[in-house]
Structures are given as C-alpha cells and as structure tokens.
Amino acid sequence: MKPLDGVIVLDFTRVLAGPTCTRILAELGAKVTKVEPPAGDMARSGWPIVDGHSGYYLQLNAGKRNLCIDLNWPEARKIVFELCAKADLIVENYRPGTMKSFGLDYEAVSAINPRVVYVSMTGYGQNSPWSGRPAFAPTVQAESGATATHLTHYGKNLTKPVNDSSSHADLYTGLQGAIAALAGLNERTKTGKGTHADVSMMATMLSVNERLHGLINELENADDEPWALSAPESPIFELADGSLATIVTSPVWSTSFIRFCTMMGRNDLRGDKRFLTPELRRKNYDHLMEEVQGWIRTFRTFEELEAQVSGGGGLAIGKIRTPAEALETEWAVAMEPTYEVSVGEETIRLPKGPWRFNGRDSGALPAAPKQGADNREILQEIGIDDASVDELYRLGILQGS
C-alpha cells in the first residue's frame, strides 16, 4: 500500500511543472491518466533520446497511463468529461481559459463532480493582470527577482547578469501543486467537497525566496553583516588532488571567520588589518580566500579535509560531484535512490521519490508509455466498447497505439 492508493488523477499537463506534480502523485500511489493531444507533449522531444524516446519525458511521466485524444472534437470532450466525473484529482497547466474553452474547467466539472480537487498551475495565476502572458521558468525567475537570476549573477567577477539555466520555477511549482492536491484531498475528507487550487509560478518563486523579507524591507542594511554578493555563502575550494569542495558559510561572517582561523591554526589572521571587520573582509575577500585556499590545498583528499572541517571546525562540507559520481557513493549504494527501466532494447536509470515510509522508499514506477498506449483500456472503464473505440480511431479522435 502507498499513501495515495485508490486516488484517481486525470492529468492535463505538459513539459515540466504539471508533469512534476503528477509524477509525485503517481509515486505516492495515485492512478494517473495523462491526457495528451495528438501533437504530443513538447517534452517528448527533450534530449537525450534513448532508443527513440526522450529521457526527459520518461523521467517526468513514469508510472502514468496515456490517453491520446484530440479535444478539438466535441466527441472527445464528451468522453473526457465522463473521465472527469470519476476523478478525485484533476491537474492542468494550460494557460488560463484553455480548459474552459474545452468545457473542462473547474466550474463545469465540479457541477457534476462536486468532490473533485482541481489544481491549476500557470505562470501568473488564473485572474491576475498578467494571466495571458506566456511563462517559462527563466522568464518567471527573472520577473520574480529570484536570487539566482537577480542577485548571484551580478556577482563580483561578472560584467553582466546571466540567467539561471535550471528550471527552478517549474520544479518548485510542481512541488507546490502536489502540496495543494494533498491539502485539497485532506479538506475533502472533512467537508465532502472539492476545491480549486490556483498555483502560480510567480507566487511560488516569491514564496521560496528565503531572503525575500530582507530584500523587500531593506533589512540587509540594518545588519552589520549584510548578505554580500561578492562574498558567497558557500565558497568553492580546490584540494591537492584537483577535486573541489564547498564549505557552507563564508569566512566573511564574524563567527565563521573565527572558526576558520581556529580550524586553520591561523589566529594571526584575526589581528590582520585587512580582516578586522566584516566590511574589511568583504573588501579584501580575494586575499582572505587566498589564505583559506592555501590551507585547503595542504589536504591530499576530500576525506582528510572533511575530518578537519567537520570535526575541528564543526562546519558542513560537501565534495562537488557529478550526478553519476553521486550515485557511486556509499550513501547511494545503501539508499538506492534510482531504478532502471527498459526502453526498447536499452535501459535508462530514473530517480525515485525522496520519501521513505516506515523505512520503505517509493519504489520503481513503470516506464512512461507511448502516446495512446492505454486508450482502449481507459475508455473501456467508462463503458465504451471495442467497436466504438475503433470508430474513434477511424475518425482521428483517438491517436496512438
């Protein structure tokens, strides 16, 4: 048994934020049916390609059934409306108004299925002044003043800002969408009624910015140790063997500066005129880093450095690894955070959900199916016989295998 066993999810999502949400629900045990248009989810063209299939798509849509149907047909909308009537959860991330144009919006569905929990994910919300704007993660990250875009990339050694290539806004919104879905299900157990959750990427990015309070209230100016763009909190250092490590906290701050000096056996630095105050340490940051880097290069391996930093300094330290290297560590061998699925004649390794319930992880999910792979099974569940399914294929309403 998994926490969401028995929960029926209808998934009208594509690319990243929505599929992230519904994959989480699938990993938690929900029965997720992805409703995909004949043109296909854009993620199906995502690199890399494994035996003709997008690895990107496979990761995001593992464990879901697939119904490939053309909602431009009234007959298709009628069929999908019947599926909506039986769903516990509906998740969509189309632009506002799109689901209404199909007659599948929350108001229409809840009229026949008042218990449905309906989660909509958009760039800027259902009814905001920016509702109609296209939204992708990098643009929303820029609009929301996300740290990685607005602040970090104005750092000391850059002549111009550089956008963050990671899709934080999509991924975080997918997580928040899953939280909204679970909250809606819990509320329904109390009230017997469903709800419509409106989750925007813009609001999500503001909510996950842990420095928002300081940045919008100018609190950083009230502290004698403000967050300095030229003094990153987790500087990167090189060891004698060429490997890289990051130590959480910067030697700019007073308490950590003292810890660094003690750990390095360099209490003389505490009296160095260049490093007497946070402001001076920030001004002379490169010189301070040279002192720390010189000490770190005396360690041959990360393990030796970690023993000194974690033990003698009480600071967290991490070795900079590739994902493949991370999966070779003793932690990964013990915890098994990934699994393999067959894709044609090849295999691909995919991540598991991060939860462990009573010591058990979320387990492996089946590979994401081809478009329309489950058409017949899904439609039979609402009483559509084989002859009628064949006719839907003939008309082009259904597509795929």
**Least confident segment among 145-159, 228-242, 383-397:** 145-159
Q: Would the pLDDT of 149 be above 70? A: no
pLDDT value, residue 347:
92
pLDDT value, residue 252:
82
Give 17: exposed, middle or buried? Use CB within 10 Å, 0-12, 13-18, 19+: buried
> Are the CB atoms for 102 and 74 separated by under 8 Å?
no
pLDDT value, residue 352:
96
Q: Which residue has the tokens 């090849």?
A: 346
- Could you tell me the pLDDT band of residue 216, with boundaries at 50, 70 and 90? confident
Q: Would the pLDDT of 85 be above 50? A: yes
- Could you tell me the pLDDT band of residue 366, with boundaries at 50, 70 and 90? very high
More confident residue, 358 or 211: 358
Q: Taking CA 317 as the corner, what is the angle to CA 316 and CA 323, rounded to the nearest 5 degrees?
A: 125
pLDDT value, residue 312:
64
Which residues are 92's β-sheet partners?
A: 12, 120
Kindly state the average pLDDT of the residues 72-89.
98
More confident residue, 104 or 153: 104
Q: Would the pLDDT of 229 be above 70? A: no
Element (H, E) at 61: helix 55-61
Pick the CATH number of 8-209+336-395 from 3.30.420.40, 3.55.50.30, 3.40.50.261, 3.40.50.10540: 3.40.50.10540
Of 274, 191, 281, 276, the closest CA to residue 228 belongs to: 281
Where are the chain's structural domains? Answer: 8-209+336-395, 244-319
Kindly state the average pLDDT of the residues 76-95.
98
6: which 2 tokens? 């028995």
More confident residue, 168 or 150: 168
- At 365, the amino acid letter reads L
pLDDT value, residue 222:
33
pLDDT value, residue 314:
75
pLDDT value, residue 225:
42
pLDDT value, residue 231:
45
- Could you tell me the pLDDT band of residue 384, with boundaries at 50, 70 and 90? very high
